[in-house]
Structure 1
Amino acid sequence: MWTLQDAKNKFSTVVDAALAGIPQEVTRRGKSAVVVLSTSEYRSLLADAQRSRGSFVDHLLAFPAEDIERAQVKPRPVDF
């Protein structure tokens, strides 16, 4: 884990470690802020997330509509 100041001072080392397959965590003011990853690691994580995520249509179709009670409201009269 790197502090932000150390990561800035030794950015080449941070990048080299990330390229070697070791994600580098950087903190700011004592709190975890970012993780530096290699591009291949990032793309792999992104592809895994996209594969495991269903489509928006599947999400809508999975909505439990029959479990919801709907209010019976009559439309109000409208004069034109």
Structure 2
Amino acid sequence: MSANSKPAPDAWTVANAKARLSEVIERAQSEPQMITRNGTPSVVMVSVEEWARKSERKGSLATFLMDSPLAGSELADERQGDGPRDLTL
């Protein structure tokens, strides 16, 4: 959901989330809880398990490229010998 979207009908306002924080935390254990500020989606509260799953680092770009099915396939990577364009200034 983008920041300009309307909040979900079951979204929490900041004031309501503060007053009922324990309930927000309890519900966040089973599904993400959206909190709005001035009617605009502001943050989403999720369980620590969900956060760990979503933010887990899967390795470096170099590892990804080295593990690619194309690694070692001897792809041609030669560039064309085109020279610079002639420009009149």
TM-score by length of 2: 0.55
Equivalent residue, structure 1, for 2:18: 8
* Deviation >6 Å, runs of 4+: none
* Matches of 2:24 and 2:62, distance apart in 1: 38
Equivalent residue, structure 1, for 2:38: 29
TM-align CA RMSD:
2.8
* Matches of 1:29 and 1:11, distance apart in 2: 18
* SS of the residue 2:31 aligns to: coil
Label 1:55 to 1:10 Cα distance change in 2 as closer, same or farther (>3 A).
same
* Matches of 1:45 and 1:38, distance apart in 2: 11
* Matches of 1:55 and 1:22, distance apart in 2: 31
Question: Once the 2 structures are TM-superposed, how far is the Cα of residue 8 of structure 1 from its aligned partner?
Answer: 0.4
User: Number of aligned pairs?
Assistant: 60
Q: Sequence identity, in percent?
A: 28
Question: Once the 2 structures are TM-superposed, how far is the Cα of residue 54 of structure 1 from its aligned partner?
Answer: 4.9
